């Protein structure tokens, strides 16, 4: 379906939980449950029973498909901490007219789950990985085990996900070696690497990040020219290209330095049932009432309303010194956490 600006909306990111087994420093606060003193009410962690059930997610997915939103990504929080994650993937994939179901994960639990996600119908896996240094990984994720995520990537490749995509967010310019190491995964294995700019969302406001252009310069110094690929390399926000001798492409997703809102095709469903039309701001609609009333006509109307509320673009900006910030331009300008939005 089209939004008010004529953009084709055909992709939904579905967060199935806002809980996570990691606490990445730029994503979540250190504490599992954040107190009211720190956060606004809508940002608090929620009791387990307020998450959408697998059946509710299936109902929403069915209406999405009916509206032409046929490309889904299951995310979180960490989606694989939810015990019915594989069942959710399986049921979404069975919806007629759903073309693709993919998953974004930190990979900590993937080693044991990749083999069951493949037969469940999962089409693609993105693993978030910001460094190949085990000590830095533990520090950035506040306790994560790099070996587990690497084992998860191995298991995904062995299960037949090819390529596996790795998403890397660099904290700042000091993490130059991380960029080189992560990029080398695309040189040596069937791993497509994407560098994503740090956004001023959640704890991301505390980090400078590195622009896509700067990461490209760092990589070009080591690996030679990055040759941009043609349009065939995907319709999403990533700009892909290749370094000579690399097996896989390297992409840059640069929402701040290379704003792609004009081509945005997505909406985001939170794990509690709020359908958000943009990463930034709080425009959207709570689908819970329609779900509770078992009213699929209302559900459809609500989804259409949310799509129609989609803004022309985000209001993140880059300051003169290169720092990213969220413009505080009225109600809804302050962003929540990626783990709650469904990053």
Kindly state the tokens that stand for 53: 């059930």
Q: How far is the CB of 106 from ligand SF4 (least distance, A)?
A: 4
Q: Does 52 bind ligand SF4 (CB under 6 A)?
A: no
Name residues whose C-beta falls within 8 Å of residue 39's C-beta, 6 or more positions apart in sequence: none
- Measured CA to CA, the distance from residue 156 to residue 272 in angstroms comes to 28
Kindly state the tokens that stand for 265: 């095709």
CA angle in degrees (0–180, nearest 5) for 133-117-158: 55
Kindly state the tokens that stand for 68: 């032409």
Q: Which is nearer to ligand SF4, 303 or 338 (CB)?
A: 338
DSSP assignment of 214-248: HHHHHHHHHH--EEE--TTS-SSSPEEEEETT-SS
- If you compute the radius of gyration of the chain from its CA atoms, what whole number of angstroms results? 19
- Measured CA to CA, the distance from residue 164 to residue 191 in angstroms comes to 5
342: left (phi over 0), alpha (psi -120 to 50) or beta: left
**Using CB distances below 5 to 8 A depending on partner kind, what does residue 75 bind out of ligand SF4, ligand SAM, none?**
ligand SAM
Q: Residues interacting with ligand SAM, by CB under 6 A?
A: 20, 26-27, 75-78, 104-106, 128, 167, 169, 196, 198-199, 201-202, 204, 338-339, 343
- Region binding ligand SF4 by CB under 6 A among candidate stretches 21-29, 180-188, 190-198, 271-279: 21-29
Q: Does 211 bind ligand SF4 (CB under 6 A)?
A: no
Q: Does 60 bind ligand SF4 (CB under 6 A)?
A: no
Ranked by CB distance to ligand SAM, the top (closest) residue is 204
Q: How far is the CB of 206 from ligand SF4 (least distance, A)?
A: 14
Residues 81-120, mask of contacts with ligand SF4 (x by CB under 6 A): -------------------------x--------------
Look up residue 109 and give its DSSP letter: T
The footprint of ligand SF4 (CB under 6 A) covers 20, 22-24, 27-28, 76-78, 106, 128, 338-339
């Amino acid at each position: 379906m089209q939004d008010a600006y004529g953009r084709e909306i055909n992709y939904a990111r579905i967060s199935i939980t806002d809980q996570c087994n990691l606490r990445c420093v730029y994503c979540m606060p250190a504490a599992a449950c954040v107190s009211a003193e720190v956060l606004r009410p809508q940002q608090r962690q929620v009791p387990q029973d307020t998450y959408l059930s697998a059946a509710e997610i299936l109902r929403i997915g069915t209406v999405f498909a009916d509206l032409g939103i046929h490309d889904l990504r299951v995310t979180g929080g960490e989606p694989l901490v939810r015990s019915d994650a594989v069942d959710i993937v399986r049921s979404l994939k069975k919806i007629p007219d759903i073309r693709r179901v993919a998953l974004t994960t930190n990979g900590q639990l993937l080693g044991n789950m990749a083999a069951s996600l493949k037969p469940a119908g999962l089409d693609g896996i993105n693993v978030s990985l910001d460094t190949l240094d085990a000590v830095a990984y533990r520090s950035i994720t506040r306790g994560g085990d790099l070996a587990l995520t690497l084992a998860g990537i191995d298991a995904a490749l062995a299960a037949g996900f090819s390529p596996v995509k790795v998403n890397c967010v660099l904290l700042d310019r000091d993490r130059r070696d991380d960029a080189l190491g992560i990029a080398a995964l695309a040189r040596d294995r069937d791993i497509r690497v994407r560098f994503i700019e740090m956004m001023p969302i959640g704890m991301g406001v505390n980090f400078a990040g590195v622009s896509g252009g700067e990461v490209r310069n760092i990589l070009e110094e080591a690996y030679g020219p990055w040759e941009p690929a043609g349009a065939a390399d995907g319709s999403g926000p990533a700009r892909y290209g290749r370094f000579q001798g690399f097996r896989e492409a390297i992409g840059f997703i640069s929402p701040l330095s290379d704003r792609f809102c004009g081509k945005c095709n997505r909406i985001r469903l939170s794990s509690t049932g709020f359908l958000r039309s943009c990463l930034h701001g709080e425009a959207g609609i709570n689908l819970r009432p329609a779900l509770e009333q078992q009213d699929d006509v209302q559900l459809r109307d609500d989804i259409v309303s949310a799509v129609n509320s989609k803004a022309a673009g985000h209001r993140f900006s880059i300051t003169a010194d290169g720092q990213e910030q969220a413009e505080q331009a009225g109600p809804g300008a302050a962003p929540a956490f990626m783990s709650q939005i469904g990053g």
